[in-house]
Amino acid sequence: MSNILLALHITYLIDRNNPTWAVLLFTNADGANIAAKRIKDKFTTALAKNTELSNLEVRLVVGVASWDPEKMENPYDLMNAGIKETEYDV
């Protein structure tokens, strides 16, 4: 039996100067990690095919964070946790 990822998501533009987006997924941590891997794989494949971008440094950094009601008080806490997770993406 295959795993099916079903998630509702909302996309946010966080920083226009250094293009940074956030995606809020309504799924569990496993589903978010599956989605992140798929996005990174598709991004890498599409980037390799685009010769116009070969002279530019283009990176996709992904961080996955989950809402923790015991540690988080507002949406900014979740956003900051996600940003912090990008520091560990390799």
Walk along the chain (90 residues) and give the pLDDT tens digit of each residue.
Answer: 445 444 566 787 888 888 787 887 888 888 888 988 998 999 999 999 999 987 888 888 888 889 899 999 998 898 889 888 888 765
Backbone angles phi and psi of 11, in degrees to 5: -105, 135
Is pTM beyond 0.75? Reply is: no
CA atoms within 13 A on the CB side of 10: 5
CA 18/CA 20 separation, integer angstroms: 6
pLDDT of residue 57: 86
